Amino acid sequence: MSQAEQSRIVTGTTRLLGIFGAGGFGREVLPLVRGVPGREVVFVDDAPQASLINGARAISWDEFCEANNAPKQVALAVGNSAARQAIADRCATAGIGFAHVQATNAIILDEAQIGEGAIISPFAIISSNVLIGRHFHANVHCYIAHDCIIGDFVTLAPHVCCNGNVHIADHAYIGAGVVLKQGTANKPLVIGRGAVVGMGAVVTKDVAPGEIVVGNPARPLTATR
C-alpha cells in the first residue's frame, strides 16, 4: 500500500501543499500527506532552519506565496493556538486555502461535522453527532465520544479520552492522557476558552476560561501548591 493510500487529504486539485511549521508535529503530519502524484509537499516556516527536512523542501512564507504551482493549500501544524490563528488569518488574507488532513486509520462516525483545516492523526476516533470547529488538532489515539462540541483552534494531545456531552471552548489545550468525564445533554461538562488541562488529569467538573487544572481529580494548579 502506498503512502497516498495509507493516508487521506482532501485538497481537490492542489499541486503545492505547505505544512506550516517544521517542528515535531509538522514532521508527523508529513507522512500523512506526501506521495500523491503531481503534488509537492513543502514545509513553510518564517525562518527555516534547514533547506531540507525529512526529505521535503523547507521554504519561507514569501517563497511559498510566490510559487507558481497554483492552486496551493496549507496545513497548520503549529501547536500554539494563538499562533495558529494568526497564521490562519494571514493565509486567509493571502487567499490560500486550508487542507483537511486525516489518517485513513482514523475513524469518523455518523453526523460528525469538522471545520476547515483539521488535522486528524492516526488511530483517532471521532464518534457520532460531534461538532468540531476550525483548525482542530487531534493527536494520535484521541477519542471523542457522541454529542461533544469543540470550538476553534483546540488541541487534543495524544491519548485524550473525551467522553460524551463535553463542550470544549476555543483555544483550549487538553494534555496527553487526559480523561474528561461524560456530561449530559442538560448539563455538559464544559472546558472554558483558553483553558489548559495538564497531562494525565481526570476532569470531573467544569474548567473556567483560562484556568489551568492538573491531577486526579483535576483541580486548579494554584490549589495544588
pLDDT tops 80 at residue 62: yes
Res 2: pLDDT: 39
C-alpha–C-alpha distance, residues 76 and 57, integer Å: 16
pLDDT, the chain, mean: 91
- Per-residue model confidence (pLDDT) at position 159: 98
pLDDT per residue as tens digits for the range 170-217:
999 999 999 999 999 999 999 999 999 999 999 999 999 999 999 999
Candidate list 137, 141, 146, 167, residue with the active-site label: 146
Measured CA to CA, the distance from residue 50 to residue 57 in angstroms comes to 9
Cα separation, 136 vs 134, in Å, equals 6
pLDDT-derived band of residue 70, with 50, 70 and 90 as boundaries?
low
Would you state the pLDDT for residue 69? 62
Question: Residue 13 above 90 pLDDT?
Answer: no
CATH class of 3-101: alpha beta
Q: Is 146 a catalytic residue?
A: yes
Smallest CA-to-CA distance from 22 within 50, 1, 3 is with 50
For the chain, give every residue range classified as CATH 2.160.10.10: 105-217
105-217, CATH topology level = UDP N-Acetylglucosamine Acyltransferase; domain 1 (2.160.10)
Query: CATH 3.40.50.20 region(s) of the chain?
Result: 3-101
- Name residue, grid cell 510559487: 67
For 128-148, the pLDDT digits (tens) are 999 999 999 999 999 999 999
